[in-house]
Structures are given as C-alpha cells and as structure tokens.
Chain A
Amino acid sequence: MTSAVSLQKVSRHFGLVRAMDEVDLDVAPGEFFAMLGPSGSGKTTCLRLIAGFEQPTSGRIQIFGDAVEGIPPYRRNVNTVFQDYALFPHMNVRDNVAFSLMLKKLPKVLRIKAAEEALELVRLGGYGDRRPGQLSGGQRQRVALARAIVNKPKVLLLDEPLGALDLKLRESMQEELKALQKTLGITFIFVTHDQGEALSMADRVAVFNEGRVQQIGTPEEIYKRPQSRFVADFVGSSNVLDPEFVYWIVGEKRWASLRPEAIHVMAAGQSASRMTGTIISKSYLGPVIRLMIDLNGTKLHASVPSNDAVPAEGEKVTLGFAKDALHLMEATS
C-alpha cells in the first residue's frame, strides 16, 4: 500500500543549523500520526516540508506516491491548521471557511453549503456571520479546523493544534479531534511537544530530537520500550539508569530505563534485595505519591499508589522490580 506521506533521507539545513537531518518517515493512509519533540527538534520543520512552506535540502518527499519537491503549497492536496489559527480578520467565519472553495471558483451556493457543513462538523453551526475577532480561542481553533477540512484534503497537518488552549478545553478538543479524524478518515499528522497529548491521541508517534527521528512506534512501544535515553527521558518520566548501575543489577553494561510505577517500595529489610536506599523527597500527586529515592548516589523516581502506606522522608527503604520492567537500551553513551 502507498504511504500517505513518505520521507526518505530528508534533510533541511539552514546554513550550519541542521533543522532536519536524514529523516525517514512513513505515515499510513488514515493514520493519526504525532510528531513529538522539544522545541527546536525539527518536528515543525518536518511539518512545513510536508505542507510545502519549506523545501528539503536533500532527500525525497512523497504524498500518496507523488513526489512533491518543488511543488508549492497551493498545489498540494494537504491543508494545515496553524498554531495561531491564522484566520483572516477581514472575512467572516463563513468566508474564512469557504476561502479555498472560492479560489476553486465553486458556485457561491455550493460553497456556502460546504462551509456550513464543515462548521456543523466542528460544532460551530450558526456562527458563519461572525468575525474571527468576536470568537473565543477555542472557537477560532474550530474555525481553523473547519477551514482546513472543507477542501477534503488527503492529509491534514496540525501544528501544535491545542497549544494555545487552556487545560480543560485541551482535553475535550483531544477527544473531538480523534472523533473527527474517525469521521473523515483523513490522515492526520500533528506536531506537539506534549508527550501526554501525543500518547493519548496518536496511532503512532515519531519522537524527534536535534533534527533526527529517535524512534517511531505506537504509544505503547514508545512508552514501554524506548530505544534511547532521550526517548525514555522525554516521553513520560522514566528513570534513566547509567551502564554502571545497570551492570551492578543485571551484569550488562547498557543504559536502561525503568518506569517509576514499576518500582516496588518496601520497608527496609523486608526483602533480600541489595537495593536499599533513602527517601529524599515525597510529593503528593492525587492518585499517586511520587518519591525520590537515593540509592548509593543514584537518584530514582518511584510512584506508589497514594492509599498504600508510604514511608516518610529520610526513611530507609528496599526497592524491588520485576526484571522485565528494566528496559535495556543502547550499549554505549
């Protein structure tokens, strides 16, 4: 099957800065794909290359099998929801949504009908006559979404779509975006720096760092089996264990990750484990309590259910975890 979007060894350099370096990526049709990474990791550049706002320094980009290098954004069957929404302030909501249809010279009746349908889809029916300036942030976001899907693109790109919204709104929009993607069946590619957002919404996630793709996989793979220290550290809040420490536990000199919830914390002496440490700090997070434990100089995070009996700060504890919870990663640094 042809990929919806396919990048082969794509690089984008700005002078000496390698915004993207030899990135390989394949997004399947109908997939909800996330590009996750800290700012400056190349994820937004990647999105802009697919949209056509940037041209690759080298490499090949294909959209549904067609090479798109040199093809301007207005001739690509791809639409974008911008981070700042980029609505046109001089047009009302309906004209904003119908903009692409107007350019296609669709008769006015049809384009108004299509715009109204798209607005219904994002639950903004009846807002057509308003100006963008009269809408709230969440509503503008929906208009931007309607404007991008009205043209029925093959791929929808979303640049930090929920970044400007407050927490409550963000959570409900996450649900809505997923539902919308199922209804439309369009390939969604979205950029985010929020790992929670990426894990909860996407079918697959590509983790970016310093212009390179560190790992691509399902949220579960990324979370449970990170391939590099960066991924383990950035996605969630794994303990990244250095090779010396791992050698001491399993006899292999490799980096490893250990999820905080996989650590069992017991009162000292309850088990034969060699791992005895001291609780340095303790924070209450609602369902769980997060402990920082000093283990012969290595600091580990552990999270334990908050209704368990939790030792106090300064107390000695013994740690245990299932051997397969320790996920071994690359051998060298």
Chain B
Amino acid sequence: MRSSEPRAPLGLAFAATAGLLFMLLPLALIFLYAFSTEERTYQWPPPGLTLKWFAVTWGRVDVWQALTLSVQVASISTLLALILGTLCAAAVSGTKFFGRETISLLVILPIALPGIITGISLRSAFNLMEIPFSFWTIILGHATFCIVVVYNNAVARFRRLHGSMVEAAMDLGANSFQTFRHVILPNLGTALLAGGMLAFALSFDEVIVTTFTAGQQQTLPIWMLEELVRPRQRPVTNVVAMVVVVVTFLPILAAFYLSRGGEQTVSGMGK
C-alpha cells in the first residue's frame, strides 16, 4: 500500500469541481432566495436577508395541506410497494415457472417508461373504468413505479439468500410465519428499508404521473409548480424546497449506508 494516494491531474480536478458546482450551485441559490427580502422577482443579488419567510410558510394552510397529502400518498404507496414488491420478488427468485422472465420485465417496465406515458395510460384507464380521480388514484399511479424500486432491491437480496436457508429454518422447527420473521425478514430488512426509502423519495417529488392521476388535490411538487407562476410571496416556495431537500436527504443517506452494510454481511457468507 502506498502511504498517500496519487494526486489527480489538474485538468481533471478542475473539470470535476466545475461539474459539481454546476449541479450544486442552483441548489445553493434556492437556499439563498429562501432568505431574500424581495418577494416578487429573483433579483440578484438579493436586496437583503430575512428569516420572516419561515414564519410566513409556517402560517400558510395550503403548504400544510400539500405537505400532508404528499406524505400520506408517499407513505401509502411505499407500503403498498413494500408488500407487493417483496411478494413479487419472492415469487420470481424463489420459484421457476413459465413466464417468469416476462413478469420480471413487466414489473420493471414502469420505471423505464417515460412518466408521461404511464400518466396518460393510467388517466385513460381510470376514465374508461369511470373511477373518479382522487387520493387513491394518485396512490395507484405512484405505486406503479414504487414497486419497481422495492422489487429491484428485494430481488437482488433474495438471490443472495441461500435457497436452503428457508428449508433449514423449517427443518429446525419454524413454521412459515416464524421462518419469515426470524430468517427471511432479517436478511431482507436492510434491502427493504433502502427500497422503501427510495420509493418514498420518488413518490414524494413526483410531478408528471400525479398531474394525470390527481383530481383537485395538490401534492407538494404540484403546489410548488403552481406557486412559481404566482408573483406573490415567492420565497415561500424556496423555504419549502429547502425543507424538502433537508428532510429527504437524511433518509436517503441512511438508506445508502444501511444497504451497504447489509451487502457486506451477506456477501461475507459465500459458500
């Protein structure tokens, strides 16, 4: 082992820095404008800094409604995805049956399809079946792509689980429920947590599918989109954006570390 890593060439370091700045500076600007005293235009530089928009945001009912709806939608879609995605992954990885590969492909398809296709097709399907657009149609729309994330995470972990482990548990006296609780779930847990968090984050900031499947309800991203064209209290949007960034960043970071830790313990178990 070398005591010090070789230094990157100057050009590469510059390019990397520029790339990161390009991605992160706009975020920083959003944060900065959350404190701006100017409420109509995004004037540069901000004429002054203030904390009053936090108080204003706190007091706005529409923000709270949108936030509550988004959290509810994301939670329920994630829960739905966790159940269906895990079951699907268990079936696909645990058994061999005709059309297994096809099912696997069909499950993954929604995330490969452009959101607008998913949105339009769901909208026309709901129309055809005369289902009124509601809270539940948003959830159905979100569940289509949330399932994919959970499924992908779970299926990768199932593959690493030894097939005979379930049999070993039953051999040692565990019924199906005990096998699931003591053997499958602990091995799947971190994968499900990571998948669930990713699904939650995906659902939380979804705009396109939501536009097509929502009725009068406004989820947080849709609320923000509408707020941008309104020339009043603009920094409120920035405050909300900032809070969303901070709040979603933490679980994603946690998911990253959790799934990495899980891989280490399981991959250390090779034959």
User: B-contacting residues of A (Cβ < 8 Å)?
Assistant: 51-53, 72-74, 78-80, 82-84, 86-90, 99-100, 102-104, 131-134, 137, 147-148, 151, 164
B174 to chain A: which residues have CB within 8 Å?
A: 74, 99, 103
Q: How far is the CA of A82 from the CA of B166 in the complex (A)?
A: 11
Interface positions, chain B 169-223, Cβ under 8 Å from A, are 169-175, 178, 182-183, 186-187
Give the shortest distance, in Å, between B42 (CB) and chain A (any CB).
51
Is the pair A99, B169 in contact by a Cβ cutoff of 8 Å? yes
- Contact for A133 among B162, B172, B187, B268, CB less than 8 A: B268
Q: How far is the CA of A151 from the CA of B269 in the complex (A)?
A: 24
Known: A74-B171, A100-B172. A88 touches B165 (CB 8 A): yes
Known: A90-B186, A132-B269, A133-B268. A99 touches B172 (CB 8 A): yes
Is the pair A74, B266 in contact by a Cβ cutoff of 8 Å? no
Known: A89-B187, A132-B269. A99 touches B164 (CB 8 A): no
A82 to chain B: which residues have CB within 8 Å?
A: 164, 167-168
* 7 contacting pairs across A/B (C-beta < 8 A): A53-B170, A73-B167, A74-B170, A87-B168, A88-B169, A103-B174, A131-B268
- Contact for B187 among A83, A90, A100, A103, CB less than 8 A: A90
Q: How far is the CA of A87 from the CA of B165 in the complex (A)?
A: 7
Give the shortest distance, in Å, between A104 (CB) and chain B (any CB).
7
Query: Is B60 an interface position by the 8 A CB rule?
Result: no
Supply 14 further A-B pairs (C-beta < 8 A) apart from A74-B171, A148-B171. Answer: A51-B167, A52-B170, A52-B171, A53-B171, A73-B171, A86-B168, A87-B168, A88-B187, A89-B266, A90-B265, A99-B174, A99-B182, A103-B174, A133-B268
Give the shortest distance, in Å, between B208 (CB) and chain A (any CB).
39
Interface positions, chain B 128-169, Cβ under 8 Å from A, are 162, 164-165, 167-169
Query: Is B230 an interface position by the 8 A CB rule?
Result: no
Q: How far is the CA of A61 from the CA of B175 in the complex (A)?
A: 21
B183 to chain A: which residues have CB within 8 Å?
A: 88
Query: Is B7 an interface position by the 8 A CB rule?
Result: no
Is the pair A89, B173 in contact by a Cβ cutoff of 8 Å? no
B167 to chain A: which residues have CB within 8 Å?
A: 51, 53, 73, 80, 82, 86
A80 to chain B: which residues have CB within 8 Å?
A: 167-168, 171
Is the pair A86, B162 in contact by a Cβ cutoff of 8 Å? yes
Q: How far is the CA of A52 from the CA of B178 in the complex (A)?
A: 17
- CB closest chain-A residue, reference B270: A133
- Contact for A86 among B165, B173, B182, B266, CB less than 8 A: B165
Q: How far is the CA of A87 from the CA of B271 in the complex (A)?
A: 10
Q: How far is the CA of A80 from the CA of B172 in the complex (A)?
A: 8
Is the pair B268, A89 in contact by a Cβ cutoff of 8 Å? yes
- Contact for B265 among A53, A89, A147, CB less than 8 A: A89
Is the pair A104, B173 in contact by a Cβ cutoff of 8 Å? yes
Is the pair A164, B265 in contact by a Cβ cutoff of 8 Å? no
Q: How far is the CA of A86 from the CA of B163 in the complex (A)?
A: 8
Is the pair B186, A103 in contact by a Cβ cutoff of 8 Å? no
Interface-centre pick from B165, B183, B268, B269 (highest chain A CB count, 10 A)? B269
Q: How far is the CA of A186 from the CA of B56 in the complex (A)?
A: 77
Is the pair A79, B172 in contact by a Cβ cutoff of 8 Å? yes
Give the shortest distance, in Å, between B258 (CB) and chain A (any CB).
14
B164 to chain A: which residues have CB within 8 Å?
A: 82-84, 86
Is the pair B175, A72 in contact by a Cβ cutoff of 8 Å? yes
Q: How far is the CA of A87 from the CA of B175 in the complex (A)?
A: 17
Give the shortest distance, in Å, between B35 (CB) and chain A (any CB).
47
Q: How far is the CA of A257 from the CA of B184 in the complex (A)?
A: 52
B268 to chain A: which residues have CB within 8 Å?
A: 89, 131, 133-134
Is the pair B265, A131 in contact by a Cβ cutoff of 8 Å? yes
Give the shortest distance, in Å, between B168 (CB) and chain A (any CB).
4
B172 to chain A: which residues have CB within 8 Å?
A: 74, 79, 99-100, 103, 147-148, 151
A86 to chain B: which residues have CB within 8 Å?
A: 162, 164-165, 167-168
A84 to chain B: which residues have CB within 8 Å?
A: 162, 164, 271
Give the shortest distance, in Å, between A150 (CB) and chain B (any CB).
9
Q: How far is the CA of A194 from the CA of B265 in the complex (A)?
A: 33
Give the shortest distance, in Å, between A268 (CB) and chain B (any CB).
54
Interface-centre pick from B169, B171, B183 (highest chain A CB count, 10 A)? B171
Is the pair B168, A164 in contact by a Cβ cutoff of 8 Å? no
